[in-house]
A = this chain, B = another copy of it.
Amino acid sequence: MSTRTPVATTETRQYHTTHRQEFITITKDVEDFIAKSGVETGTVTIQSHHTTASIWVNEDEKNLIGPKDKLGYTHDLSRVLDRFADPEEEYGHNDVRDVNNPQGKRDTHLCTPDSCGVVHECINGHAHAQAMILTSSVTMIIEAGKLVKGIWQQIMLVELDHDRERTVTFLAQGLGK
């Protein structure tokens, strides 16, 4: 038997996103979690609970990721993502059947109609399509008790829908000391 202790531990965090295509750097939260976990050699898995908010590992340079209101122009990755799946395009997913749209294609949603029978908050076909590009979970390596990452690598939560409350679970597993 190994004399090193097997470890597996989780932590769940909430993030409040403030706008579409916000990229929130969460590297420090992941690194703090790894330090607490006691894993010396192993992996950390970062998993979004959502279908329109993804996890991405890349550079958090402002021209790439925004936000637009500080830049005064659209960030590069917003342009590329919206070209792939335009929010203004027609999606069957967005054609929600309600009192205003009795022939709507989408009748399977669980979004609750308001008191007027109108369904809000489901117009996000583009966000599901963009979520094909990015991934809902990422697994990275822990070595010598620290996250392995290159000089430019940051872990980001990417909001593909509008401002929302988002839940992310971290899991560290491997061998301790």
A108 neighbours in B (Cβ, 8 Å): 61-63
Task: Tell me, yes or no, whether A26 is within 8 Å of chain B by CB.
Answer: no
CB-CB contacts below 8 Å: A74-103 with B: 75-77, 80-81, 84-85, 91-93, 95
| Count of residues in A whose CB is under 8 Å from the partner chain | 71
Nearest CB of B to A63, in Å: 3
Establish whether residues A171 and B43, one from each chain, have CB atoms under 8 Å apart when the complex forms: yes
What mask results when residues 33 to 67 of chain A are scored 1 for a CB within 8 Å of chain B, else 0? 00000000111010111110000111101111000
CB-CB contacts below 8 Å: A16-45 with B: 41-43, 45
A10 neighbours in B (Cβ, 8 Å): 41, 141, 143, 148
- Chain A facing B: main interface SS: mixed
A81 neighbours in B (Cβ, 8 Å): 132
Cα(A105)–Cα(B44), bound, Å: 35
A45 neighbours in B (Cβ, 8 Å): 43, 139-141
Contact of A129 among B41, B50, B76, B169 (CB under 8 A): B76
A150 neighbours in B (Cβ, 8 Å): 48-51, 167
| Residue among A64, A131, A134 with the highest chain B CB neighbour number at 10 A | A64
Cα(A134)–Cα(B54), bound, Å: 13
Task: Tell me, yes or no, whether A145 is within 8 Å of chain B by CB.
Answer: no
